[in-house]
Amino acid sequence: MKRLNSYPIELTEDTGGYVVTFPDIPEAMTQGDTLDEALEMAQDVLLIAMDFYFEDKRPVPMPSKAAKGQHTIQLPLSVWAKILVLNELCHQNLQPADVARKMGTRPQDVNRILNLHCTTKIDTIAAALHAVGKELSLSID
């Protein structure tokens, strides 16, 4: 099963360790002395790279399909939900103030949704998506 919030990585064995790159997220590059360390560092750098997209208010590229046996790095679902909001706002060319009006709230509240360092209730994220004509759904596989 393909997880929508999992990004494939390319691992290159280098002298003294592994270099990790993300084909879909060119800003994310790291390395580790061991495979386990490289994978742990990849998780960290992927989260850091997401900050660039949110700061620039530009859409986050969707993950490509991983090749058979290729490692993937999974984003936390809380981050993934915020990415869905950011991408939809970018797609519809909406500002936080536009969404706040539709939600009947303040622009600061929408800015918190678009901040990866602020904890946001899933119901609030669902309400923001609903305000722009989308529905958030959860499932178990």
pLDDT tens per residue, range 83-120: 999 999 999 999 999 999 999 999 999 999 999 999 99
Give the burial class of 1: count Cβ atoms within 10 A of its Cβ; 0-12 exposed, 13-18 middle, 19 or more buried: exposed
pLDDT attached to residue 30: 97
The pLDDT tens digits of the residues spanning 37-63 come to 999 999 999 999 999 999 999 999 999
Instruction: Pick left, alpha or beta for residue 17 (phi over 0 → left; psi -120 to 50 → alpha; otherwise beta).
Output: left
Distance of CA 39 to the CA centre of its chain: 17
> pTM to 2 decimals?
0.92
Q: Closest Cα partner for 4 from 48, 60, 65?
A: 65
Identify the H or E element spanning 77: helix 77-92
